[in-house]
Amino acid sequence: MPELVLYYFESCPFCQKVLRYLKKRGIEVTLKNTHQDQEAKKELIEVGGKYQVPCLFIDGEPLYESDDIIQWFEDNY
């Protein structure tokens, strides 16, 4: 099982789309709110190269775009 970390913030509609999907499917991942956790924001920029959410880190590799993240879960769960 890969290590999964989702970077998000509450007011982002695309983040909410991914969060709703995860809840509906009963999938649990580590969540990092980039508005509440400045270290998480820094990690996202350093590793991903940009400040864009939602971003799912899969074993440390960033995956952006809500539809792509949902598709990854569809293909892997």
The domain of 10 spans 4-76
Give residue-wise pLDDT tens across range 26-43: 999 999 999 999 999 999
Q: Which residues are within 8 A (CB) of 71 and not within 5 positions of it... i.e. 6 or more apart?
A: none
Q: Which of 4, 7, 23 is nearest to 65 (CA)?
A: 7
Is 7's pLDDT higher than 90? yes
CATH number of the domain residue 42 falls in = 3.40.30.10
pTM beyond 0.75: the answer is yes
**Count of domains for the chain:** 1
